[in-house]
Structures are given as C-alpha cells and as structure tokens.
Amino acid sequence: MSELVVTGLRAAVAGREVLRGIDIVVRSGEVHAVMGPNGAGKSTLGKVLLGHPAYEVLDGSVCLDGVELLGRPTWERAAAGLFLAPQDPIEVPGVTVAAVLAEALVASGRAAAAGPALLARLAEEAGALGVSPALLERGLNVDASGGERKRMETLQLAALAPSVAVLDELDSGLDVDALRECAQRIAAAARPAPGVTALGVLAITHYRRLLDVLRPDRVHVLVGGRLVASGGPELADELEQAGYAAYLDPSEAAAAAPAGEGGLDALFR
C-alpha cells in the first residue's frame, strides 16, 4: 500500500507562480483524474512532482510513503516509486528502452528483474500494447510518432511497476484502438489480481475517453494553479459538456481573452 501526499504545493517557473497551493492524496489502487484548461498548470504539476529543474518550488511538501521527495533528484523520486509519462516524451538517441529500464530497475534495487527476464517481459508487454519490435531496437522514441511514444510510455510504466504514476495527457496522439490498449493496461495495474500491489494513478486529461476505461474514483478541476473543485466521475461528463467557464475567476477569464494585455500569451498556451 503506497500513498502520495501532496500538501500546499506552490511552484514558479520563469518568475511566475504557476502552482498556487495543490493538495491531493493518491493511494494504491486509486485513480484520480485532473482536468483543466490550457495553461492551468497541469503539466507543471507533473514536472514539479518529479523534480524538473526549471521549476522552483516555493512551498509545500510531496511525500511518498512518508518520505519527502522535494529537494531530491528526479532519479531518486523515480526509484522511490513515482513515475511520469510526460505530455511530450523526448527522443534519446543511442539508448534503447531496454537499456533505460535496466538502469531504472537496478537503481530501484530490482537488479534481478533487469537481466534476461527483462527482454522477455518487454516483448510480451510490447505485444499487448502494440509497440512494434523495431521501436524496441532503436534509441528511445527516435523517429517515433506521438502515438508510438505514448505506447512506449505505457510499456515503461508496465515494466517498471511504479507505486504511483502521473499520466500527462497520455491520450493525446493515440488513436482509438491504441488508447483502449494503453488505458486497459494501466487500469489492470490499478486494479490488479489479489496479492499484487495496486498502482495509484494521477491522470491529467482533457477527454472522457481515457476515463471511460480508467474509471476514476475522483475527478479534480485545476484552474489557475489551484484545484478548485473535486467530484466523482460525473464531474468529467459535466466538464466535457460545459467546459471550465464556471470555474474561471474574473482575472483568469480576462487572461484567457484573445485581446488586450496578455492576449498573445493566451494564444500560445
């Protein structure tokens, strides 16, 4: 049983406070969805949880199983059991996914899983997730489409079996079949067979399609760097119908307007 406890998390980037006090608890087997308009701070939340160096933490705490992660390097957070599937996974030329995973498994004290067993495991998971064998041979994500990268993230999640996974728009770029395969794999990790530790999920998404398979326990609305509302799965339906207008305060509504001060910024969010 794992527990990620985020308390009063505030963070800035490029001199501007983007996370303005985030409180959330994600336990093993729980699926939390975070939805919100462009520029709300969703990706920032994922990056700050994993310790991206461009983001300055101003206040708060991020504890995984009672261990404070803030101030620790990203690899230690990952070794402790936190995982991020980024919105835009990068290419790592010359380093295969098997090499990445072998290092990660060794660093998290699971050297036994990093040997020949890893290749068999990867081949099996890749088959289920529709990752082509050619992609396994190449440098990570090299010449891969957006959707192939998202499948590759899901493959890494499956092989690493983290305690808590942050999925930043895993659904973007995936076609309907790939989305179902990836979401089903993650749902299986979150609701595993008895005796297997369940994955906790924090899924950032704009669309209900992912949530139809992941079936979140809680849905949170992130606006202007704060979680302004939380509810059950029905909240995702409401948001898809009505958008975020009801949650924008007047200053954010003004910032989102296409004209006037900050208007150009808004176009690029």
Instruction: Give contact residues for ligand ADP (rule: CB under 6 A).
Output: 13-14, 18, 36, 38-44, 54, 269
C-beta of 38 vs 145, nearer to ligand ADP: 38
Interface ranges with Mg ion (CB under 5 A) = 42-43, 87
CB 161 → ligand ADP: shortest distance, Å?
A: 26
Given Mg ion, ligand ADP, none, residue 147, with its beta carbon under 5 to 8 Å by kind, binds none
CB 172 → Mg ion: shortest distance, Å?
A: 9
C-beta of 74 vs 87, nearer to Mg ion: 87
C-beta of 181 vs 252, nearer to ligand ADP: 252
Given Mg ion, ligand ADP, none, residue 138, with its beta carbon under 5 to 8 Å by kind, binds none
Given Mg ion, ligand ADP, none, residue 269, with its beta carbon under 5 to 8 Å by kind, binds ligand ADP
Q: How far apart, in Å, are the Cα atoms of 115 and each of 108, 153, 160?
A: 14, 20, 13
CB 29 → ligand ADP: shortest distance, Å?
A: 26
C-beta of 38 vs 61, nearer to ligand ADP: 38
Contact present, 219 and 236 (Cβ < 8 Å): yes
C-beta of 98 vs 222, nearer to ligand ADP: 222
Given Mg ion, ligand ADP, none, residue 132, with its beta carbon under 5 to 8 Å by kind, binds none
CB 42 → Mg ion: shortest distance, Å?
A: 5
Given Mg ion, ligand ADP, none, residue 18, with its beta carbon under 5 to 8 Å by kind, binds ligand ADP
Given Mg ion, ligand ADP, none, residue 245, with its beta carbon under 5 to 8 Å by kind, binds none
CB 102 → Mg ion: shortest distance, Å?
A: 30
Q: Over the chain, what HEC string results?
A: CCEEEEEEEEEEECCEEEEEEEEEEEECCCEEEEECCCCCCHHHHHHHHHCCCCEEEEEEEEEECCEECCCCCHHHHHHHCEEEECCCCCCECCCCHHHHHHHHHHHCCCHHHHCHHHHHHHHHHHHHHCCCHHHHHCCECCCCCHHHHHHHHHHHHHHHCCCEEEEECCCCCCCHHHHHHHHHHHHHHHCCCCCCCCCEEEEECCCHHHHHHHCCCEEEEEECCEEEEEECCHHHHHHHHHCCHHHCCHHHHHHHCCCCCCHHHHHCC
CB 14 → ligand ADP: shortest distance, Å?
A: 4
Which residues make Cβ contacts (< 8 Å) with residue 246, sequence separation at least 6? none
